[in-house]
């Protein structure tokens, strides 16, 4: 275990921790006494018909979802819905390499797949929170991967789905992107095969990782329009240092690597022997597939290809030049679009 102030309630805001018991993983490992960190907003109504699940993205926690996506001014309105944000395994809040005791933590933390997250979340919802029907599952990026996995795995439980800026089956190009992120970290001699003494030993690797994120996370137009100035940064260097490195540089390297490995292998067709069409054909949720038009690694064309395989679905393109990291709602026009689509989706009878 490694102390890291970034993953505390002081930094991330209040959350609950549920021990859901041992979690046996698809790849063969087991997380003993698996803990899921989650935050709820609003109240489950009497007939349990207002629950919404929000899984988290790579490096994200419940906090960004609470701060940006949830509120009475948003589609995800806690005055109307019971909203559960569950931190994905490996994100530093739920069971993760850095917070799992010796010998199961750090480099020994087992391989986790998107399907393991969904199994763990299913256990939490049905056994702890009394939720057996979801009005909506909505998530961005790796949250979209989990959304797809939910809709394919539990078609009778998920009534609506909104995968934002993510795919049901990860692409080769996206796999390659994630590989460069992984290598940026593992190539740091301070990484020591995952057995560093402090995250700061891997600072150079974390900084390189942040820079590759800057390259791929936004878009050429984001930079040519100097959108980083609109975000309050005076130069590229200021933006790289005080946004990108500030954000990623305080995280735990093994935690990021755990999520990266999982992200690379998101694939609902594992449930149908590799047949993506069959897997997506299982979805019964009314689904809005919501790619971001300037996304460099989940391009709209990849998302549209999948959307066409989902029976009751529509493509809803989000317009912004902020690329994948538009998910942070850096563009003032972003949340209005997301809310409009989600409100329409939630108002659609199913």
Q: Which residues are annotated as catalytic?
A: 141, 295, 324
Of residues 179 and 275, the one with the C-beta less far from a copy of itself? 179
Q: Which is nearer to a copy of itself, 69 or 233 (CB)?
A: 233
Span of 2-10, 17-25, 212-220, 246-254 interacting with a copy of itself by CB under 8 A: 212-220
Binding mask 115-154 for a copy of itself (x = CB under 8 A): ----------------------------------------
**Which of 6/223 has CB closer to a copy of itself?**
223
Residue 329 CB contacts under 8 Å (≥ 6 apart), including other chains: 68, 69, 335, 338
Look at residues 226, 346, 332 and name the one whose alpha carbon lies nearest to residue 286.
346
Look up residue 19 and give its DSSP letter.
E
CB 149 within 8 A of CB 137: no
Min dist. Cβ of residue 207 to a copy of itself (A): 9
Q: Is 236 in the site for a copy of itself (CB under 8 A)?
A: yes
By CB under 8 A, is residue 222 in contact with a copy of itself?
yes
Looking up tokens 């994200």, which residue turns up?
60
Q: Does 260 bind a copy of itself (CB under 8 A)?
A: no
Residue 158 or 181 with smaller CB distance to a copy of itself: 181
Give the integer Cα–Cα distance in Å for 72 and 81: 10
**Residue 269 contacts a copy of itself per CB under 8 A:** no
**Count of CB atoms situated within 10 Å of the CB of 308:** 12
Closest C-alpha among 130, 272, 251, 241 to residue 196: 251
Question: Is residue 172 close enough to count as binding a copy of itself by CB under 8 A?
Answer: yes
Between 191 and 328, CB nearer to a copy of itself: 191
Question: Taking CB under 8 A as the rule, which mask of x and - marks residues 304-343 in contact with a copy of itself?
Answer: -x--------------------------------------
The DSSP-derived string for 24-81 is: E-TTS-EETT-EEEEEEES---TTS--EEEEE--TT--HHHIIIIIBSTTSSB-TTT-
> Residues 6 or more apart from 305 whose CB is under 8 A from it?
none
Q: What residue ranges bind a copy of itself (CB under 8 A)?
A: 171-177, 179-180, 183-184, 187-189, 204-205, 208, 211-212, 214-216, 218-224, 226, 236, 240, 296-297, 299, 301-302, 305
């Amino acid at each position: 275990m490694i102390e890291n102030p970034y993953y505390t309630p002081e930094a991330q805001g209040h959350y609950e921790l549920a021990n859901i018991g041992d979690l046996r993983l698809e790849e063969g490992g087991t997380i003993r006494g698996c803990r899921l960190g989650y935050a709820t907003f609003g109240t489950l109504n009497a007939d349990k018909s207002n629950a919404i699940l929000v899984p988290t993205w790579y490096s994200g926690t419940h906090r960004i979802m609470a701060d940006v996506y949830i509120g009475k001014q948003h589609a995800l309105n806690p005055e109307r819905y019971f909203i559960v944000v569950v931190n994905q395994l490996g994100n530093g809040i739920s069971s993760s390499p850095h917070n799992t005791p010796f010998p199961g933590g750090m480099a020994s933390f087992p391989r986790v797949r998107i399907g393991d997250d969904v199994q763990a979340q299913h256990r939490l919802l049905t056994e702890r929170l009394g939720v057996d029907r979801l009005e909506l599952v909505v998530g961005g990026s790796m949250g979209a991967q989990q959304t797809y996995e939910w809709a394919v795995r539990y078609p009778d439980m998920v009534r609506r789905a909104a995968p934002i800026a993510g795919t049901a089956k990860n692409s080769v190009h996206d796999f390659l992107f994630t590989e460069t992120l992984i290598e940026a970290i593992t190539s740091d001699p301070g990484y020591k095969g995952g057995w560093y003494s402090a995250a700061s030993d891997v600072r150079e690797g974390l900084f390189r990782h942040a820079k590759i994120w800057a390259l791929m996370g936004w878009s050429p137009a984001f930079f040519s329009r100097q959108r980083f100035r609109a975000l309050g940064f005076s130069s590229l260097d200021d933006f790289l240092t005080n946004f990108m490195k500030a954000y990623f540089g305080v995280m735990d390297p093994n935690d990021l690597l755990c999520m990266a490995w999982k992200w690379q292998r998101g694939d609902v067709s594992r449930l149908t022997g590799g047949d993506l069409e069959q897997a997506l054909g299982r979805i019964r949720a009314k689904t809005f597939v919501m790619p971001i038009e300037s996304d460099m690694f989940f391009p709209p064309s990849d998302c549209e290809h999948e959307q066409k395989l989902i029976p009751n679905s529509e493509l809803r393109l989000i317009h912004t030049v902020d690329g994948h990291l538009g998910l942070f709602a850096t563009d003032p026009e972003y949340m209005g679009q997301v809310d409009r689509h989600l409100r329409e989706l939630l108002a659609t009878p199913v």
